[in-house]
Amino acid sequence: MLYYFLPAIILLGIITSYGDILRTTALLHIYKNEHVTWVTDKRAFPLLEGNPYIDKLLGYDFTTAFQLISEEFDRVINLEKVPGICALSDKIHTRKSRYGFTFNTQTGNAEALDGASKALAIGTNPILKRQNKKIFHELLFEMLGKKWKREEFMLGYQPKSEEVYDVGLNTTIGPKWPTKKWPEKYWNKLEQLLLTKGFIVTRQDSGENEKKGILKNLEIYIDWINSSRIIVSSDTLGLHLGIVLKKKVLGLFGPSPSREVYFYGRGKAIFPEPIPDCLPCFKSQCERGKNCMEDISPEKVYEEVKILNENRNRSP
């Protein structure tokens, strides 16, 4: 969920995924000369703290909600479709305009304001979502009546680590979509292939990284992502962190849509072979009897890592 309010622009990302919060920072390019306030889950603060285009960062809670409805802004932008959040957004005073989603007091549902109809339809209709060919940022900017011009998203926390590894294997996924998981035996095989050819490799799920608290501390996780030149990841936060940190990134895609992800010329998506008709299915459980992620071979990923590595070495 996201709100902007100008001249204090507010963005709320209370229950939105970390990856969505991070990618939405591309909108800050539009408001870089304005006063921006962003309200979000405190756990997401490392993604935003230190961003030069955010003037005030607030953690969302009961007190903050009362503060928001007592303030006034030039614009209110609510990018969250949760009815309760839409209702809160509608209570915030604005002098100029609103964007995103609003609350229908008769149906109790979220409704799209001008410019957001397509985003709402795609977000709520699996058929339309499968047919969508637009990148996440194209839809995002269209909701504000703007055109996305390849603006990149931005990370607030500045990593303290240096690049010491050739390849980082981002092996863990969240509990929401277990079908995104690439089998552990495939990660093991890929690691073996890379080590055999002399690549220096680090794994997210290694005992050493688990001791450091990589799965519990977002700053430690960002530092780990930053420590590799190439990142291999399923469609999860690590993928987007690799992109924003300007790493070479290989994304392993099955049930989720690769079309919505833009690599800025620094990576690519890898798909099951052959590509099943149901891809992307957006399901947390596979209905075909075999998870399509099992049809992405470690050998294929290894070859793509080699290509990325060779291209980087040839870069001036």
DSSP the chain: --EEEESEEEEEESSS-HHHHHHHGGGGGTTTTSEEEEEE-GGGHHHHTT-TT-SEEEE-SHHHHHHHTTSEEEEEEE----HHHHHHHHHSEEEEEEEEEEE-TTT-SEEE-TT-HHHHHHHH-HHHHHH--S-HHHHHHHTTT----SPPP--SS-------EEEEEE----SS-GGGPPPHHHHHHHHHHHHHTT--EEETTSHHHHHHTTTT-HHHHHHHHHTEEEEEEESSHHHHHHHHTT-EEEEE-SSS-GGG---TTSEEEE--SSPPTT-S---SS-SSSS-GGGGS-HHHHHHHHHHHHHHHHH--
Q: Per mean pLDDT, which range of 50-64, 195-209, 293-307 is the poorest?
A: 50-64
The b-or-e profile of 140-175 (16+ CB within 10 A means b, else e) is bbbbbeeebeeeebbbbbebeeeeebbbbbbbbbee
pLDDT of the residue at 54:
92
More confident: 133 or 245? 245
More confident: 43 or 229? 229
pLDDT of the residue at 295:
95
* Mean of pLDDT over the chain: 88
What's this model's pTM, rounded to 2 decimal places? 0.90
Return the structure tokens found at 125: 């209709």
DSSP string, 190-239: HHHHHHHTT--EEETTSHHHHHHTTTT-HHHHHHHHHTEEEEEEESSHHH
Amino acid at 69: I
Residues of the chain above pLDDT 90, percent: 54
The model's pLDDT over 80-97, given as tens digits with 9 standing for 90+, comes to: 888 888 898 899 988 888
Alpha-carbon distance of 312 to 306, in angstroms, equals 10
Q: Which residues contact 206 (CB under 8 A, 6 or more apart)?
A: none
Return the structure tokens found at 51: 């961003």
pLDDT of the residue at 314:
55
Alpha-carbon distance of 300 to 302, in angstroms, equals 5
Please provide residue 202's backbone torsions phi and psi, each rounded to the nearest 5 degrees: -130, 145
Q: Per mean pLDDT, which range of 11-15, 20-24, 65-69, 269-273 is the poorest?
A: 11-15
pLDDT of the residue at 11:
54
pLDDT band with cut points at 50, 70 and 90 for residue 262: very high
pLDDT band with cut points at 50, 70 and 90 for residue 104: very high
Alpha-carbon distance of 155 to 263, in angstroms, equals 15
Alpha-carbon dihedral 222, 224, 229, 233, rounded to 10 degrees: -80
Nearest to 310 by CA among 202, 197, 234, 218: 197
Return the structure tokens found at 223: 């530092």
